[in-house]
Amino acid sequence: MTARCVRSVSGSLQLLLRNRWPKVYGAATCSQKHTYTPPPAQYGGRHTVTLIPGDGIGPELANHVRELFRFCCVPVDFEVVNVDSTMASEDDINNAIMAIRRNGVALKGNLETNHNLPPSYKSRNNLLRTTLDLYANVMHCQSLPGVRTRHRNIDIMIIRENTEGEYSSLEHENVPGVVECLKIITRTKSLRIADYAFRTAREKGRTRVTAVHKANIMKLGDGLFLECCKEVASGYPEITFDSMIVDNTTMQLVSRPQQFDVMVMPNLYGNVVSNVCAGLVGGPGLVPGANYGEDYAVFETGTRNTGKSIANTNTANPTAMLLASCLLLDHLKLHAYANMIRRAILSTVTETRLHTADLGGQGSTSEVVQSIMKAVESTGPRTLSL
């Protein structure tokens, strides 16, 4: 109990201190080695991870993740926090945020936003991302061997600014019938995301970073973003940097997606590009997504769909959520477990007869999960019985 209190106090102190001495990003800090230490394992070497089931297919997928982790004897315990997205009060989401602050990592399903409600009801997902300052949304889209798509050999890493831009939720109606929506671009956040993109590219051995923008029209806003990217790029001479306008980018993506390597962009373009890339590699059921901040990390499916129409029909594709849980394990430095489960998932995806409806097959979610567990068992480690 006291350990947790100390952590939360030190957490708030950290926030206070951080505001007084703002970090300096950019070329000057490229030599700083960024080491991350995961939150300390608690209670006998087992990590506690917040689990937010969400709406639609979220709860059933969350159950499958838990089932799989239990089967593989992964030393992770889930603290389940249910968020009721239909409630007007923000208590539920605040509880979830507090839980994530406690544990440091989370696995999350998408929370539905009813867009017919008045603006006072904010998107719960957005609230979570901005409150926890999860500034980088990373999605790695790769062509999978067993999945038939129109384009082959795609390997694109999309890094999207996650907290500002068009998603600032600042709107007002000065004159009746005229609504203004503000898109905010700041130097600090643009430098931060550019720095993150180049660091990640370097770590993963990628050779090219493309900034996606619309600076020919939004000269000041996207112009600032582009400027920050160029500044950071100067500190990474081994990585090629170029930029592309967003409409040309989408056109190139559907004709020749193999030309892209790492892409960095503001919030809304990130939304469009990540969905296009997810569609190109096989759909929303295959790609995991990760949201990283300075202190917290939240993992979810890449395209953030609730899947309302297929909820509780046992037809959802669990691959995206399970791969997201592997990213979670990597983040907790439990690489052996992550690789074991990932190998099993990828071997199952290549089997066409187990494809779920979104991949054109007739398999069910539970069949896919069973097959993954069998694949894990056959590789040898001690597991619970099937």
Partner 1 sequence: ISGVFWSFLNGRCVIFLAYLNIVCLCSASQMQTVTLIPGDGIGPEISVAVMKIFEAAKAPIQWEERNVTAIKGPGGKWMIPPDAKESMDKNKIGLKGPLKTPIAAGHPSMNLLLRKTFDLYANVRPCVSIEGYKTPYTDVNLVTIRENTEGEYSGIEHVIVDGVVQSIKLITEQASQRIAEYAFEYARNNQRASVTAVHKANIMRMSDGLFLRKCREAAEKHRDVKFTEMYLDTVCLNMVQDPTQFDVLVMPNLYGDILSDLCAGLIGGLGVTPSGNIGANGVAIFESVHGTAPDIAGKDMANPTALLLSAVMMLRHMGLHGHAKKIEAACFDTIRDEKVRTQDLGGNSKCSEFTDAICQRVRDMD
Kindly tell me which of 305 and 371 has the beta carbon lying closer to partner 1.
305
Kindly tell me which of 105 and 280 has the beta carbon lying closer to partner 1.
280
Q: Which two tokens stand for residue 63?
A: 């159950």
Contacts of 25 (CB under 8 A, 6+ apart): 188, 191, 192, 194, 195, 232
Kindly tell me which of 324 and 340 has the beta carbon lying closer to partner 1.
324
Binding test (CB under 8 A) with partner 1, winner from 10, 32, 248, 366: 248
Binding letters toward partner 1, positions 324-363, x by CB under 8 A: ----------------------------------------
251 binds partner 1 (CB under 8 A): yes
255 binds partner 1 (CB under 8 A): yes
135 binds partner 1 (CB under 8 A): no
Site for partner 1 in 261-300 (CB under 8 A): 268-269, 271-272, 274-276, 278-280, 283-284
Kindly tell me which of 6 and 254 has the beta carbon lying closer to partner 1.
254
Nearest to 281 by CA among 165, 149, 373: 149
Kindly tell me which of 113 and 240 has the beta carbon lying closer to partner 1.
113
Phi and psi for 60 in degrees, rounded to 5?
Answer: -65, -40
Q: What is the CA radius of gyration of the chain?
A: 21
DSSP three-state, residue 188: helix
* Candidate segments 166-174, 324-332, 337-345, 364-372, binder of partner 1 by CB under 8 A: 166-174
Kindly tell me which of 255 and 385 has the beta carbon lying closer to partner 1.
255
Task: Tell how far CA 111 is from the center of its chain.
Answer: 14
Contacts of 242 (CB under 8 A, 6+ apart): 208, 209, 210, 211
Give me the amino acid identity at 148.
R
Kindly tell me which of 26 and 39 has the beta carbon lying closer to partner 1.
26
Site for partner 1 in 74-133 (CB under 8 A): 113, 115-119, 121, 123, 126
Q: How far is the CB of 183 from partner 1 (least distance, A)?
A: 4
Q: Quick check: 105 and 38 in contact, CB under 8 A?
A: yes
Q: How far is the CB of 335 from partner 1 (least distance, A)?
A: 31
Distance separating alpha carbons of residues 318 and 105, to the nearest angstrom: 20
Site for partner 1 in 185-224 (CB under 8 A): 185-188, 214, 217-221, 224
303 binds partner 1 (CB under 8 A): yes
CA angle 380, 384, 385 (to 5 degrees): 90
Distance separating alpha carbons of residues 138 and 333, to the nearest angstrom: 18
**Mind giving me the DSSP string for 20-86?**
HS----SGGGTTS-----PPPPBTTTBEEEEEE--STTHHHHHHHHHHHHHHTT-SEEEEE----TT
Q: Please give the size of the binding site for partner 1, defined by CB under 8 A.
A: 61
Distance separating alpha carbons of residues 359 and 316, to the nearest angstrom: 10
Q: How far is the CB of 227 from partner 1 (least distance, A)?
A: 11
Q: Provide the binding-site residues for partner 1, judged by CB under 8 A.
A: 113, 115-119, 121, 123, 126, 150-151, 166-167, 169, 171-173, 176-188, 214, 217-221, 224, 246-248, 250-255, 268-269, 271-272, 274-276, 278-280, 283-284, 303-305
